[in-house]
Every structure is written in C-alpha cells, then in structure tokens.
Amino acid sequence: QVQLVESGGGLVQAGGSLRLSCVDSSLAFRFNAMAWYRQAPGEQRELVARISRGGSPNYAESVKGRFTISRDNDKNTVYLQMNSLKPEDTAVYYCNTHRGPAGPSGTDYWGKGVLVTVSS
C-alpha cells in the first residue's frame, strides 16, 4: 500500500526558510510524479509544486522563484525547499501522488499534512 509521510513543518519568521520532506513507501516511487499541495484556513486545497518522474518541476505562480521541489529516488523522498517565506504561505502542506489515468479515474494518495506557520 502507498503511504506518504511528511516532515519538516514548523514556525518561522517572514523571510525565513523551511524544507519539507515526504517519504513514499511504494517501490514504484520512481515511476510516479509527486506533488505538494497546501490548504490555508477557510481556503481550498491548492497545488504548490509538482515534479515528474523524470524530475521536471512545475510551480504555482505564487511560489515560483521562492520554492524548489526535488526528489531523491534512491531514498523514495520528495522535498520542498521553501525560501523567502511570507505570512500568506501559512497552511497545512500535503504530499501527494497520483496513480493510474489522469483525473478521477485514477487514485490520489495523500499524506496527513504538516503545518507551516509564517509569522510577521
């Protein structure tokens, strides 16, 4: 079974940095894209960054230039390096992977989430 376990959340001041990590239990990790989502209070969950199985990244406009997603297939781990953090980045961050066809016919797997709080 796929299990995603995140770590690295916490409290930082504006302008600071954090690195999130997500470990995937699946032996097929290297064949799948991985992503980070976040959900702020009262808001919908939104895509922050995605990385293909080949390592090609994609970012939300709000974090482009500040966040970097990467993966280490030998460790079954995806990372999100967050620099120049803003109070607007405060949210619960979730690790995600999608298996099968694109859209609802496939299956989304989620970590339990980690809280990132950015103070001003």
pLDDT digits (tens, 9 = 90+) for 64-103: 999 999 999 999 999 999 999 999 999 999 999 988 888 8
With cut-offs at 50, 70 and 90, classify the pLDDT of residue 31. confident
Checking phi first, is residue 58 left (phi over 0); if not, alpha (psi -120 to 50) or beta? beta
Which whole-number Å values give the CA distances from 22 to 3, 10, 42, 54, 95, in the listed order? 10, 15, 25, 17, 6
With cut-offs at 50, 70 and 90, classify the pLDDT of residue 26. confident
Average pLDDT score over the chain: 94
